[in-house]
A and B are shown apart, each in its own frame.
Chain A
Amino acid sequence: MARYAMVMDMRACVGCQACMVACSTENQTPYWSGKFRTHVEENELGQFPDVRRELLPRLCMHCDNTPCLSACPTGSTYKTKDGIIRVNYDRCIGCYACVIACPYDARYPYNSDDVETAYNMYGSDNSHDQPHVDKCSFCEHRVLEGREPGCVSTCPTNARVFGDLDDPNSEVHKLTSRGDARPLRPELGTSPKVFYIPI
């Protein structure tokens, strides 16, 4: 049993968005509707002439205290034994309570138009066969095979680090326990498992 987490090194991210492309290909997310499981936010900080740009890659935070899971009436949203938050498409009714509850904009509707386009594009390999609310799965299918999530293995600058928080030898454990990497909006009490090393 692991407790998977990700650390984002904001000093290393160059905003190439390869993570978005890799995720979209790996998970057949509806990029044709502008919907992605992971994004790279570009923030302009400061005031002229003292300005800088910050790149913030984001995805589902796989919170330990999970507001989307509490809001989901159907049990479609569930937590795996490894702490990954997943969606069971068969049970999702698409009420959007989880979308409203998520503080990190991690969820979006995979609606019937998206399902139709996915079917036309991927044919029998289509992995989204019905409308549902979609989100990052930490590429659990890859992780179970001992591989890293698609976004992590693709990142050319190693801005994303993936591993087991409970393993003292893992890089994510070292970075978070040293306090180098911190979560977003910890005051909400969600205990997110994605951490950020600021610039």
Chain B
Amino acid sequence: MSFVHQDVWHWQIAAYLFLGGLGGATFAIGAMMHLFEGCDRKVLSIAILSAVGFMGIGTIFLLADMLQPMKAIYALTNPSSWIFWGVIFINVYFIAAIVYVIPLLESWPKLKPIIKKIPEPILGLMEKFNRAAALGGATSGFLVAIYTGLLISAAPAISFWNTPALPLLFVISAFSTGAAFLLLLSTFSKEEKSHEIASKLEQLDAGLIVTELIILGAYFNFAFFLPTGARESAAILFDTPMFVIGFLVMGLIIPLMIETYSIFFAKKSHGSAKLLLTASVLVLTGGFLLRYYVLHAGLYQYPW
């Protein structure tokens, strides 16, 4: 029995998994806040455009890692492959995002003349289906986030990945990074309502980090008790300072402490905005590190 590092998916795929999850979750949380709470349309339009940008850059990373990216359309052939579903989710996401964001951009006076160039019937349809697009984009964003975990869990010989915990971990982590990104955006907003939204986001993110810690605990407990490559992978991760300090401590525990402090003790001020900014950046960095090191720790268990 030998354990061998997978050597085909590197940082580019980690970036794709991170940006796909971030883009999907940012859209989903942003659209939900819009539908249920109502919020600053300008900030929301920046959030949605950023989410689409993350997803776009992530997709570019995926394509750049392929041997034949120009043939990517063939990926819509085999429904038993997770990549097939990933392509569908990402395309639905982009279509829904365009329909959702264009009417939002009318809140920017400088962009209004450009948007008015879109024929009225099309713009009318976009406005009519705005809520449907918000729901469709949020659903496909969620599905993209969970797909990033399902994609790498479909590896029977990589026992650390081949577990139901991984898609859960990735989807919760994606939503945590999405909430952190929106929190980061809200710290730049000068509107009174942004404080209210920021406090909701920090509560959401703190809850998601706690959930992520619980899943991580269960995941590593499971990995350490299996006499397989999963135990080796878990041991590698615990021996990696950038995983333990960079992700676990700096990317989860410290932001959770900052957010807990902010929720219960801080007076809303310029100083607390800086703290939240720090927490958000740490969560985002941690989200990438998690995916990078989980990919790095993927060990095949070969029977020779």
Q: Which residues of A contact B (CB under 8 A)?
A: 41, 43, 56, 58, 67, 69-76, 91-97, 99-105, 109, 111-112, 130-133, 184-185, 188-190
Contact = CB atoms under 8 A, between A and B. Distances in A.
Given A105-B4, A109-B8, A93 B71 contact: yes
A97 B84 CA distance: 11
Nearest to A77: B78
B120 to A, nearest CB: 40
Contacts of B303: 104, 184-185
A174 B83 CA distance: 40
Interface of B: 4, 6, 8-9, 62, 65-69, 71-72, 74-78, 80-84, 87, 151-152, 154-158, 298, 300-304
B66 A74 contact: no
Per DSSP, are chain A's interface residues mostly helix, strand or loop, or mixed? loop
Contact of A73 (B4, B9, B87, B298): B87
A132 B67 contact: yes
A104 B67 contact: no
Contact of A93 (B9, B75, B82, B301): B75
Given A58-B304, A91-B77, 20 more contacts: A43-B304, A70-B81, A73-B75, A92-B71, A93-B69, A94-B68, A95-B83, A96-B65, A100-B6, A100-B8, A100-B9, A100-B152, A102-B157, A105-B300, A109-B8, A111-B67, A132-B67, A185-B303, A189-B156, A190-B156
B154 A101 contact: yes
Contacts of B77: 73-75, 91
Contacts of B67: 92-94, 109, 111-112, 131-133
A191 to B, nearest CB: 12
B155 A74 contact: no
